[in-house]
Amino acid sequence: MMSLFIDSPWQVPLFAASGPEGGGLMGFLSTGGYVMLLIVLCSIATIAVTILAALRLREHRVLPPDVIQRLQTLPEVAAKGDLKPVNEYLARAKDYSPLARVAAVALSGEYPNREECSSAVSTKAREELYHLEQGLPVLEVMVSVAPLLGLMGTTAALVGMFSAFGGVPGEGPDTAKVAHEIGVALRCTIAGLLVAVPSVLAHTYFMRRLDRVAVRIESLMHDVIHTFFSHFEVKRESEI
């Protein structure tokens, strides 16, 4: 029978379980049935999304220092009246840098005034941020789903526990079954929280990083657009 008490305050119940289910992590997971399996799948999805987001949102990939340096030297280049080297560089950098793709729109010369150019740049920036955000909604879903699955497992275990009180008339409840179902209920609750807590931390961290990226891109593009329209006049095709 599973013990309901912890012999030492230093023991970790998740990995020190004993009883018919077996010890260790597998014993902990095997007690929850299908609900625990769903929670494990949620944890795998959380880990996968977190790793992919960490790789995709690396600062040197999203905001490469070489692209930023090239944009910061734009006033000197624009003063010479030739943006061709910068545009050629951005064309090559567009393959790996969202910032380069946004800057290429700003320096394309397709927009006759700052307002239209700013609008096009904002649209492109939102598109790039949307792609960078892919997968993060999964973490937000896990924050809600994992505890609910844990609650479902807890409720199912409580139903089994109360059924132990409906045995043969005149006999007491099956204490072994009661103890087992209480253990299952607690384990399902713990498992759901173990998935939800890292999910909310990861989601908050990556969303804050995206906010910093958005602010940085907005600041850089403001300077790029100002420099471009300060040195060049763009005419509509009908005026040429």
pLDDT, tens digit, 9 for 90 and up, residues 33-45? 788 889 999 999 9
Tell me the mean pLDDT in the region 3-24. Answer: 41
- Residue 171: what pLDDT? 64
SS (H, E, C) the chain: CCCCCCCCCCCCHHHCCCCCCCCHHHHHHHCCHHHHHHHHHHHHHHHHHHHHHHHHCCHHHHCCHHHHHHHHCHHHHHHCCCCHHHHHHHHHHCCCCHHHHHHHHHCCCCCCCHHHHHHHHHHHHHHHHHHHHCCHHHHHHHHHHHHHHHHHHHHHHHHHHHHCCCCCCCCCCCHHHHHHHHHHHHHHHHHHHHHHHHHHHHHHHHHHHHHHHHHHHHHHHHHHHHHHHHHCCCCCHHHC
Q: Work out the percent of the chain whose per-residue pLDDT is above 90.
A: 38
Query: Is the pTM value of this prediction over 0.95?
Result: no
